[in-house]
Amino acid sequence: MSRLLVFQHVAAEPLGTLDPLIRARGHRVRFVNFERDPQAQPDVDRYHGLVVLGGPMNVEDQDRRAHLKTELVAIERALHQGKPVFGICLGSQLLAHVLGAPIRRHIQPEIGWYELVTTAAGRRDAVFAPLGERTRVFQWHSYTFDLPAGAEQLARTDSCEQQAFRYGDSAYGVQFHPEVDAALIGRWLGTAAYQQELCAAGLPHDVDTIRAHTDAHAPQLREQAEPLFNAFLDLVGRPARRTVLPSR
């Protein structure tokens, strides 16, 4: 049975819609929650794939958050072993940093729903193809990265060039949040720290606008993310079973 290692940074940013997919397939999952156990030393050798989730910290916070150094070492080892890696938001920045790409504060935060445009490579990619040529995705980030040397760019938005990349055959970094649904976005919008970040960003849309956009776009994102995640999980290992999820 395939075993998957998941790095989580805060309780508010879980696996989201990826969680029931993993469980329906029968994969075994080990969570390392660095908020609860910042001294954890996970051993990637025991696992077949790695997922690194988002969080409010940044790559430059390594001196204050030693677990980020631990994660960078683990990601590098997983890559060296040729294991599939999927980094979301902060996870994508950590992956890009391991691959030697600069990470920096972006000129303008992206928070809310944005149109994602896939590249020709993204439309050909076995994992990314379900997103099609254009789709609406949810964003919450104020940092960005350069495309790592040797990586293929898979997507961009008008306001942020680097949205997704693949390195080698099975390492993926995505700046946006394919794992969210309306409930998770509502949780973020109802959290004081997230509200403060949105207000400080100076964007033309507010909480109510994002809620309305979520009602319009979240169902389609979930439909597109499901085959994307399944394609990535197939790289980790064929499922012990694949249960059809109930219709939504």
How do residues 146-192 score in pLDDT, each as one tens digit?
999 999 999 999 999 999 999 999 999 999 999 999 999 999 999 99
Calculate mean pLDDT across residues 217-236: 97
First to last CA, the chain: 28
Residue 50 is predicted with a pLDDT of 98
* H or E element that contains 109: strand 103-118
Edge-first strand order for the sheet with 28-33 is: 28-33, 3-8, 49-52, 85-88, 171-174, 164-167, 152-156, 103-118, 134-145
Q: Is 179 a catalytic site residue?
A: yes
Contacts of residue 177, defined as CB under 8 A and 6 or more positions apart, other chains included, come to 16, 54, 88, 89, 137, 138, 139, 140
Please report which confidence band the pLDDT of residue 238 belongs to, taking 50, 70 and 90 as the band edges: confident
Residue 245 lies in a domain: no
pTM above 0.75, yes or no: yes
Q: Is 9 a catalytic site residue?
A: no
Beta bridge mates, 88: 174
Check pLDDT > 60 for residue 89: yes
Residue 70 lies in a domain: yes
Question: Any idea what the CATH number is for the domain that residue 197 is in?
Answer: 3.40.50.880
Kindly name the residue from 27, 97, 141, 177 that is annotated as catalytic: 177
Provide the 8-state DSSP code for 146.
P
* H or E element that contains 224: helix 207-236
Residue 241 lies in a domain: no
Residue 241 is predicted with a pLDDT of 58
Residue 54 lies in a domain: yes
Residue 91 lies in a domain: yes
Residue 248 lies in a domain: no
Residue 246 lies in a domain: no
Kindly name the residue from 71, 110, 152, 179 that is annotated as catalytic: 179
Cβ count near 84 (within 10 Å): 24
The structural domain count of the chain equals 1
Residue 40 lies in a domain: yes
Check pLDDT > 80 for residue 9: yes
Domain, as residue range, for 88: 3-236
Q: Is 199 a catalytic site residue?
A: no
Kindly name the residue from 89, 110, 217, 226 that is annotated as catalytic: 89
